[in-house]
Each structure stands twice: as C-alpha cells, then as structure tokens.
Structure 1
C-alpha cells in the first residue's frame, strides 16, 4: 500500500529527411538570442558530464568519427516549435556537428515517416561548438504534446575526441557508421548505449501556452533524481512521474531532470560531475521559464568517503558541512527568484552506505531540512518511501534491489508526495 506525504510549507508562500548544407557556423550568444529566449521553455534536460566509464563501456572516452548518433527523449510539455541544446562543456577541442534532425519517435532507432525536420544553427546546417561552450539550434516548426517522445539525430563527420555526455540515461541511444541523420528506418543503427551524448536540452515554444511562461520545475540531485534503478526506456524516474501527474491534471509544464548519479553537494568527483554548489549555476540557473527547483542531494556526501564509493572515495563531509552546502544552493536559487523546495534524504539501511555514523548524519540533515525553515517548502521523500515497520529502510516494494535506489514503484511514490497545487 502506498503512503504519500504532502509537501509541507515552512512559512514562505509557495508559488508554486532532408540533406543538410555543410556551411560552417560557430556558436555564439547574441542579444537577439537572449531576447528570443524569453519565448522558450525547457521541455527536457540532462546535465553534461566529463567523459568517463567507471562502470561499463560507453562511447564517451573515444568519442565519434563519421558516426550518426540517434537519441530518444520524452518531453514534459508541448509546443509548436522546438529547438535543441548541445553541450561541449568538457570537450578539449571544438566540436563540429555536421548536421542534425529532429523527428517523432517510432520503435527503437526508427522515426515516424514524414516527421523528420532538419535543424539549423544561425541558419546554417552545421555548427562548431567551441570547447567549454554550448550551442542552441534555431527553432523549427515541430508540434509536440506533453509526454511525446522525440528523436534527435546528430551526424558527427570528423573525429570529435572524448565526448561530453550524460552517463545514466535509463534510455537507449543508437549509433550508425556514416551519415544516417535523415533515415526513417533504424536498421543502420546497430550499436546501442544507455547514455546521452552532447544533447543537454530540448526546448519548445508556442502552443496553448502562447508566449513566455515561467512555471517550469527543475529537479536537482544525484542518482535518485537521475533515475538509477528505474526501468530502461520506460520513463519512470520520479521527475517523469511528476510530469505525468501535471499532464493528467490538464496542466502540463516543463519538468527538467538535472540529476547526476553519484553527484555530491560539497565534493567534486572523478566520475560524477562537479560538486552541486558549482554545477547548480550552470545546469539550473540557465534554464528558461523555470519557477521552482526541488533539491534532493547529499547522500553521496555522507557515504562518499567509503572505499566502496567508485574512484576510491572522497573527503569526509560532516552534517554541518552538508547543511552549509544546502544553504549555498538555497541562496543561489533565491538570487534568481526561484522557489526552492528541500527534499529529505531517503533511507540507506542495508545498502553499502549503511553505517551508524552515516545514519546519524542522514538523520541530522533530514531534521534540519524538516524543521529549520531554510527552504520555502519541504517534501518528505524519506517518509514517502520508508518501510513503516523499519523507517530507516526503504520499503521492499519500492526497492530497486540495492536498498538505496527506488525502483519504478518507489519513484512513483516520490512523485505522488509532491503537491501539484503548491508547485
């Protein structure tokens, strides 16, 4: 039986296929671009990461050369135009995208006939993204509804070097040799990966929302926000389940997932991204049309000093240091006018993080989140997924199997714990 816990206010009002031309173009931001950004809102996102392969082989260390990469994402809100964001944040050389398309998803690596649209960048069919930078495509007429799946295809003609990517996608990406950016069939895409490459955002404009609308929600955190433990290709991460609730209520809006598996608030890591207090500025505060951020992060700060943590462990973090990190995130969010919601840290009993010392830190941080009033509101994910008979342990029906990450049912319970009216 599912137990849900309402989001609790803490004294602050919560507002709630065609051939592309090969003309070169180097991505730059202009005043006109910034003005036009006001009409766009985020529909899907993933936080960029440095190339790494700590658990299993992926394509990021080697990158690509004469490859087409096809990636399937589900948008959380709809519109009549779409554009994509590409990241070369961790590239050491300029990244040349020889061409890109967007289409409606069919089965696997296939797309629906008649839906392929070429993407341009500054009206050019190709783009060069400087090392450390991002590029946003021009908008293209492409009607999508909330919860539609879209396929973004990139052709990478020359050697890219190691690729900026997002490790835990819980989704299948497809690769083919040669230029297959406009293929309808997926037959050429005979390699797969469960990561996303270069693609860091899909934005929409138009539709019922008309012009600019500032009601998007960013979910920020670690693997439990990222969706580790959820079924691959099922879109059952807790932010996905939240987007489904908005859509079912007739109020679809952008829900953007900026979780990174293994990420910490206070420590940089060799494989799980920059510390949260730094990447928050790059990943969250740059998103268009957002109003609220939900922060669920800190369990890796608490457990990361263990030798079991990949990469050999990180410096030990006290409960007080972690709380100071949360305060820094709150200040950064409020400086941008965002409502900021704190989420309690979920159970760890029986997991590889389970020690008396770590449990004491988790309890102390959760007590501060619940009672300090530092956040505009609190959502108690801890109690939403805990076993009532053993509250330090995740309910078996919600456990993905490692006693740390929820499975599909656990993520659904987390999404149910958020109050849509407050958001």
Structure 2
C-alpha cells in the first residue's frame, strides 16, 4: 500500500550479525557518536557532513506516515543527496525521541539507481564498532563505521535499514520532499526495488551521512537552520530543489564543493516548543546545527512561525503563545551567542513575504517588518542575506512574486528556492 502523496502536507504549511553493540548516550549531548571508536573518528577533522536532517518526535500533523506505528520486520530504504563527495562514507542514526532502545538489525549503503534500486556492485554492509547490529538507547545517537564508497558532490546514496524487532514509535523527519521505501522482511542487499511496495515522504532514524577522503575544496561546512522554508516545503518531490540544495549546486559549479547541511524543520519556532515541530530553535540549535563536524558558517532563517502561529487556528495542536518582536530578537541573540561561543560565523536571513497566506494580518506584517528592520540594521549578525527582497513582488513587496510562489503565498516553489540561493554571497562563506 502506498502512502498518500506529500501535496496535502505541503499545502498545510514526507545477514544478521551474531553480536550486538549497545551504544550508551553521550553525556551532555545527543549529537555525538556512541562508542569510543566512533567518538575518536567524530573528533577528528577526517569526517565532513554530506547530508543531514533534524530529528523530530513521532507525529502525523498533516498526513499519515510511519512514525507513530514504527516498524517490525521491515526494511526501510532512504535516498539522500550528498553535497560534498569522498572515498569513504558513514551514517548517523538517531533514537532521540524513542521511549525504548532501538535495535538496528543491519544496514547497507549504496549508490542510488532509479527509485528504490541501487547501482550494481555498490552495496556496502555497514557495521557499528565492527558489529553488524546496533542497539541505540532512548535519546541516543550512533555513527556507523566508515566504509569505502566513492561518491561525488551532488550524487545520491541509498541507505537501507533492516528492523527485525518492533521499534515502537520512530524518531523521524517529517517533510522530506523525498520518497522513502518500505518492504516486508529483510531486503537490505537487494539491488532491485521490487520488494519495496510502500512509500512515504519522510525520513526515519537517519539523521546524517558523512564522507571522508577525496579532494573537497573546503573542509568547513555550511549549516542552514530554520523552519519549513529551509526544510524545502513547496519544492518538488525528489527534485533536490530546496534552497540549501541550490546553494550546494552553486558551490560545486564554482569548483568549491562543500558540505551544506539542512537543519530546517517545518513548523519550528525560535521561542516556543511544539509537539509536532520539535523543540524551540534556541534549544535544538546546539543539538542539530552546532553538533555537525567542522561547521564554519550557519545561515539562520526562522521566526515566521513565532509570529503567525499564535493567530492561525489551523496550526497543529492549536495556536501557540503570542511572541513579541523583542522576544523574537532575544531568541536570535541567543542563537548568535551560541554560534560565536563555538567560533562559528552566523548569517541572519530576513523573513520572507507572507501576504495572502494564512499567517497574514496587519499586526503580523508589522512584526515581520520590525524584525527585518532590526536584522538589517543592528549589525548583530556577522552578515545578512535579504531573502525578503529576493522573493518579494516589486508591485506588492509584502507578497511573494507569483513566479516564486508554491501556491500557498507562504512557501516558495522551486524557482523561489533558486532565487534564495542566488541571494547568498558565496564570498561570505
């Protein structure tokens, strides 16, 4: 049975080893590796983020997915595109929101074919501390061991997980704008996609793909942090047209490929926790953005849900507490302080137009404009990118240019995301 497509969701805002390695949570962070060997690898500059997604608690705010029920004797195959290449690869798996330990019976990584197929000869068995299986405690995260796999910048890889035992509700990432595949039984080594008869437009347990080796032009990664507009809601399914994807393409076209890691969550707020869209940005910033290896710059675009979520009755779980401009600014100052404490440059992005959307009211528009004025003039961010101007209709600057609008007057479409990526000055990185 195939899951419903993600159009409804976007309009609302996707060989058993004999030994098992048990991974203990890392003290003080949920973002580190769970073994001494993995921690040593993570602590070196050898590994670079190629792809990432922020974890979310199991929920189904707009359309059915697999997170609330979880998996049992299922193989889950997920396709992601890496922004920088290398000669070795490893994956990051997370059980951040699990209530019980999560057992991964086995996993593989391969170069992607069409749909759920993989390229012949490219399937690599993944191990965890040399064991074929791993148990991740509730709240924990683990890296696999690295395996030889040559991938180029902007090439897709396929990660396949076999989950023999009931997982319970699954930590996942809701708006993937990408197709994931599920099969009954163990199909992690299948080259064909024939067994994968169910699909979803979310990612499950997979929170990162890292690479090493090769000749990347830059060691330092760029993290894009924010809400649904960073997440890519409104972009084409399986098209890799989110603005971070388009930015990665610009780096590669300039002969300077580097990791561009997308840590947007649809619905996320800077100042309020939500049941379905994760912890507030000031909390998750260190868990998601700042825990990535070798981060040089973070681009922050977030705040429109803080402004609009208090008025929109359609906000899942009901409207959130009202947020003043001053409180939103204080939230952004917290993000700036956290980045600077790690020696990381942080670029602030203006909030994009919302006229005609469910978020638009004269009061909300005044807040958006006041926040953007602070961001442009305060000098508190290291640099500013004006996504507001990049997307605005010159004839009505409070509205997204129709050619850039996905149709809901809040989220850009593919052309709009391309315009956002073009607005970033590569020299700022």
Give TM-score, length-normalised by structure 1: 0.94
2:7 corresponds to which residue? none
Distance across 1 between alignment mates of 2:280 and 2:256: 33
Query: Please, which runs of 5 or more residues in structure 2 have no aligned partner?
Result: 1-14, 25-33
Of the candidates 99, 105, 108, which is equivalent to residue 112 of structure 2? 105
CA offsets 1:29-57 (integer angstroms, 9 cap, x no match)? 35553332221010000000000001100
Contact 2:216 2:258 in 1 (8 A): no
Q: How is 1:35-46 mapped onto 2 (pairs within 5 angstroms)?
A: 35-37=40-42, 38=44, 39-46=46-53
CA offsets 1:349-392 (integer angstroms, 9 cap, x no match)? 00000100000000000000000000000000000000011100
Confirm whether residue 139 of structure 1 aligns to residue 146 of structure 2: yes
Confirm whether residue 21 of structure 1 aligns to residue 26 of structure 2: no
Q: How is 1:24-423 mapped onto 2 (pairs within 5 angstroms)?
A: 24-28=20-24, 29-37=34-42, 38=44, 39-209=46-216, 214-306=219-311, 307-423=313-429
Higher RCO structure, 1 or 2 (CA under 8 Å, sep 6+): 1
Distance across 2 between alignment mates of 1:214 and 1:187: 39
Distance across 2 between alignment mates of 1:360 and 1:233: 36
Contact 2:50 2:85 in 1 (8 A): yes
CA offsets 1:272-306 (integer angstroms, 9 cap, x no match)? 11000000010011100110000000000000112
Contact 1:120 1:138 in 2 (8 A): yes
Query: Please, which runs of 5 or more residues in structure 1 have no aligned partner?
Result: 1-18
CA offsets 1:295-336 (integer angstroms, 9 cap, x no match)? 000000000112232211110000110000000000001001
Runs of 4+ off more than 6 Å? none
Contact 1:27 1:121 in 2 (8 A): no
Give TM-score, length-normalised by structure 2: 0.93
Distance across 1 between alignment mates of 2:36 and 2:216: 24
Distance across 1 between alignment mates of 2:267 and 2:41: 35
**Could you say what the CA RMSD is over the residues aligned between the two structures, in angstroms?**
1.0
